[in-house]
Each structure stands twice: as structure tokens, then as C-alpha cells.
Structure 1
Amino acid sequence: MTLPAIITTMAGGFIFPFLLRLIWGKMCEDWGSIGGYMAAGFIVGTTWCLNHGVGLMVQSGGAWVDMAFAAGAGLFVASALSGDNVPKGLTNLLFAIIGGTLGGFILSLL
């Protein structure tokens, strides 16, 4: 993998949890449950289009990385660095790994 591909892949992996942490909670606070649905559509849809549609994230070989892995790892690191509840973050990271594995398995069946 070339250096530009590594940089764009890392940037693509950073953008998703960054936007989740920055925007999702505020949309839910301001607009309630409809804000959560809107955040899901805007944040997940936009970052998926950037990473996979535009090609910001480069996947080479047979390896794949689901967006749940990026979200789980990124949000755990953000929680740990900001002093939030780390054991809760570990639980969320575990479920993100399970969800990402399940999502990748289902996609491999296609």
C-alpha cells in the first residue's frame, strides 16, 4: 500500500467516529429520537459515501474493515482520552467488534 493510500485510509477511519462523537448526541438532544434517525442517515451515509463511494478508504487484498470497527475503536479512544467511563467504553468496543464481524460475515455471503 502506498503512503497516500495509508494516509487517506487513516483519515477515512478517523472521520466516522469523529463525526459520531461531535454531532450525534447534539442532534438527539435537540430533536429527540427523530434527531437520532437523522444523525444515522447523515453521518453514516455521508461517511460511507466518502470512504467507499469516493474511495477515501483503500482496501487491498482480501482484507475488509467494517465501519463498526472504526466507530468502536475511535469512540473508545475518545472516551478514554476525555476521562469518560472506560469500562462502559470497553463494553461498547466489544459489541462494535461483534457487530463488525457479523456485518462482514453477512457481506461475505453475497
Structure 2
Amino acid sequence: MTLELALATIVGGFIFPFLIRMYWGGLVDKFGPIGGFMAAGFIVGTAWALNHGVGLITQSGPVWVDMGFAAGIGLCVASAIQGGKVKKAIPQIGAALVGGTLAGFILSIIL
């Protein structure tokens, strides 16, 4: 992977959690539950189009974990920086790692 591809992948990985932190809560506050569905469509769709349509994120294998991994790490880091208790999140982080690993394993068998 070249330096340009690595930098583009980092930018692509940053965009998704950034959009989530900036806009998801606002849409839910303004429109209620339907705002969550709108955020899911707009934010995830926009990030996916940039990362996979435009090609910001470079894939190196058959299993794609890029956007989910970026969202998880990005949101955990942002919460920790704002004073969130990382120790309280360990069970959820563990569950996400187990679920993601299992999903990746199942996908690798299928592909």
C-alpha cells in the first residue's frame, strides 16, 4: 500500500465516526425516532459512497470491516476524550469484538 492510499484510508475511516458524532444526535433531537432512520440512511449512505464508491478506503482482503471498525474506534476515542468512562464500556466493546470476529469468520467461510 502506498502512502497516498494509506492516507486516503485514514481520511475515509475518520469521516464516518465524525459524521455520526456531528449529525446523528441532532437529527434524532429534531425529528425523534424518524430522525434516527434518516441519520442511518444519510450518514451511512454518504460515508459508504465516499469510502467505497469514490474509493477512499483501500481493501486488502475479502472481509470488509472498515466502516464498522472505524465507527467503533472513532466513537470510543471521542467519548474517552470528552470524559466518558472507558471501564464502563468494556463489556460492550467485548461483545462488539466477539460479534465482529464471528461475522468475519462466517463471511470468510462463505466467500
Superposed pair shares fold, TM > 0.5: yes
Output the CA distance in 2 between the equivalents of 1:9 and 1:90: 27
| Greater Cα offset, 60-69 or 21-30 | 60-69
The number of residue pairs the alignment matches comes to: 110
Q: What CA deviation, in whole Å up to 9, does each residue of 1:10-37 have, x standing for no partner? A: 0000000011011101110110000000
Residue 82 of structure 1: aligned partner: 82
Instruction: Report if aligned partners of 1:17, 1:75 keep a CA contact under 8 Å in 2.
Output: yes
Change (3 A) 1:26 1:106: farther
Q: Structure 1 residue 20 and structure 2 residue 20: aligned? A: yes
Change (3 A) 1:26 1:78: same
Q: Structure 1 residue 41 and structure 2 residue 55: aligned? A: no
Rg (Cα) greater in structure? 2
The answer for unaligned runs of 5 or more in structure 2 is none
Output the CA distance in 2 between the equivalents of 1:17 and 1:95: 19
- C-alpha RMSD of the superposition: 2.1
Moved over 2 A (4+): 60-66, 84-108
Output the CA distance in 1 between the equivalents of 2:62 and 2:86: 33
TM-score computed with the length of structure 2 as normaliser: 0.83
Output the CA distance in 2 between the equivalents of 1:71 and 1:33: 21
TM-score computed with the length of structure 1 as normaliser: 0.84
Change (3 A) 1:10 1:49: same
The percent identity for this pair of structures is 61
Instruction: Report if aligned partners of 2:9, 2:56 keep a CA contact under 8 Å in 1.
Output: yes
Q: How far 1:70 moved relative to its partner?
A: 0.8
